[in-house]
Chains A and B, each alone.
Chain A
Amino acid sequence: MKKVLMTLVTAVAAFLAFGVASQKPASASEPHYIIATDATYAPFDFQDKNNKYVGIDQDILATIAKREGFTYELKPMSFNAATQAVASDQADGVIAGMSITDARRQVFDFSTPYYRSGIGWATAKDSKIKSLSDLKGKTVALKTGTAGAQYAESIQSKYGFKITYFSDSDTSYRDVINGNTAATFGDLPVLQYAVKNGTELKVQNPKDPFNAGDYGFAVKKGANAALLAAFDKGFAAIKKDGTYDKIVNKYLDAKASTFTGSASDNNSVFGILRSNSSAFWTGLKETLYLTIVGIILATIWGLLLGVMGVAKSKFLRGLSTTIIYIFRGMPMMVLAFFIYIGLPGVIGVKIPAFTAGVLTLILNEGAYTGAFVRGGFNSVDGGQMEAARSLGLSHSKAMRKVIIPQGLKLMIPSFINQFIITLKDTSILSAIGILELTQTGTLIVTRNSQGFRVWAIIAVIYLIVITLLTWLSNWVEKRTRA
Chain B
Amino acid sequence: MSEEKQVKVHVDKVNKSYGDNHVLRDISLDVMANEVVVMIGPSGSGKSTFLRMLNQLEMPNSGLVEVDGYDISDPKTDINKVRENIGMVFQNFNLFNNYTVLQNITLAPVQLGKMTKEEADKRGKELLATVGLSDKADKSVNSLSGGQKQRVAIARALAMDPDIMLFDEPTSALDPEMVGDVLDVMKDLAKSGMTMIIVTHEMGFAKQVADRVVFFESGKIQESGTPEEVFNAPKNERLQTFLSKVMQA
Contact = CB atoms under 8 A, between A and B. Distances in A.
Given A383-B90, A383-B92, A406-B97, A389 B107 contact: no
Given A401-B107, A401-B111, A392 B80 contact: yes
Contacts of A384: 94, 96-97
A385 to B, nearest CB: 9
B96 A390 contact: no
A388 B87 CA distance: 11
Contacts of B90: 383, 386-387
Contacts of A387: 88, 90, 94-96, 153
Interface in B80-125: 80-81, 83-84, 86-88, 90, 92, 94-98, 107-108, 111-112
Contacts of B107: 391, 393, 401-402
Nearest to A390: B88
Contact of B108 (A383, A386, A392): A392
A391 B94 contact: no
Contacts of B157: 390-391
Chain A contact surface mostly: helix
A409 interface: yes
Contacts of B108: 388, 391-393
A397 interface: yes
Which of A383, A388, A392, A393 has the most CB atoms of chain B within a 10 A radius of its CB?
A392
B186 interface: no
A386 B96 CA distance: 11
Contacts of B92: 383
A160 B115 CA distance: 84
Given A391-B84, A392-B81, A394-B80, A386 B112 contact: no
Interface in A345-401: 381, 383-384, 386-394, 397, 401
B34 interface: no
A392 B77 CA distance: 13
B77 to A, nearest CB: 13
Interface string A319-357: 000000000000000000000000000000000000000
A384 B156 CA distance: 13
A230 B208 CA distance: 103
A390 B79 CA distance: 10
B98 A383 contact: no
Which of A387, A397, A402, A406 has the most CB atoms of chain B within a 10 A radius of its CB?
A387
A397 B80 CA distance: 11
Contact of A386 (B57, B81, B97): B57
A69 interface: no
A479 to B, nearest CB: 16
Contacts of A383: 90, 92, 94
B214 to A, nearest CB: 21
Contact of B83 (A390, A397, A402, A406): A390
A405 interface: yes
B160 interface: yes
Contacts of B83: 389-392
Contacts of B55: 390
B80 A402 contact: no
Contacts of A391: 83-84, 88, 107-108, 112, 156-157, 160
A287 to B, nearest CB: 36
Contact of A397 (B81, B96, B111, B160): B111
Contact of B94 (A381, A394, A397, A405): A381
A390 B57 contact: yes
A402 B98 CA distance: 7
Interface in B144-200: 153, 156-157, 160
A384 B84 CA distance: 17
Contacts of A390: 55, 57, 83, 86-88, 157
Contact of B112 (A389, A393, A406): A393
Interface in B31-55: 55
Interface in B206-231: none
Contacts of B86: 390
Interface of B: 55, 57, 80-81, 83-84, 86-88, 90, 92, 94-98, 107-108, 111-112, 153, 156-157, 160
7 contacts: A387-B90, A389-B83, A390-B57, A391-B157, A392-B83, A392-B108, A401-B111
Interface of A: 381, 383-384, 386-394, 397, 401-402, 405-406, 409
